[in-house]
Amino acid sequence: MVTVPRLDPVIHAPHRLHICSLLTPLDEAEFQMLREALGISDSALSKHIKQLEDAGYLRLRRATLNGRRRTWAQLTPTGRQAFAAHVDALTEIASLAHSSQ
């Protein structure tokens, strides 16, 4: 019997998967950069970020510099672990194609 690897439902949604992918190599990224990279509206991005925040995968930092308010997002250690596990699960599923050939 083949055990199907478990995917994280919080991360698996395409936009949240892309948010986590973008943030993986980074310490933090500005909200605006994420919005432009994903090509979605502020409200849609906020919704996805909120879901990641609620799961404890992401945290926000607000900073004001020269009167300009900026919001930075970063993955938490839990978020990094969950994302790594999710990528492992995807890799395992992808490898099934090779093993079945």
- Candidates 8, 10, 23, 58: give the one binding other proteins (CB under 8 A): 23
In the complex with other proteins, the residue whose CB is nearer, 41 or 95, is 95
Q: Rule CB under 8 A: choose which of 7, 55, 60, 85 binds other proteins.
A: 7
Helix axes 14-23, 31-38, angle to 10 degrees: 130
Q: Is 56 left (phi over 0), alpha (psi -120 to 50) or beta?
A: left
Cα-flanking dihedrals φ and ψ of residue 24, to 5°?
-55, -50
- The string of DSSP codes covering 79-100 is HHHHHHHHHHHHHHHHHHHHHH
Nearer to other proteins, 41 or 91 (CB): 91
Stretch that binds other proteins, among 32-40, 41-49, 50-58 (CB under 8 A): 32-40
Residue located via tokens 């194609």: 97
Return the structure tokens found at 100: 């079945």
The residue within the footprint of other proteins, chosen from 33, 44, 63, 84 (CB under 8 A), is 33
Q: Which two tokens stand for residue 1?
A: 């019997």
For other proteins, which residue of 43, 66, 67, 77 counts as binding (CB under 8 A)? 66
Contact residues: other proteins, CB under 8 A:
4, 7, 9, 12-15, 17-18, 21-30, 32-33, 37, 65-66, 87, 90-91, 93-98, 100
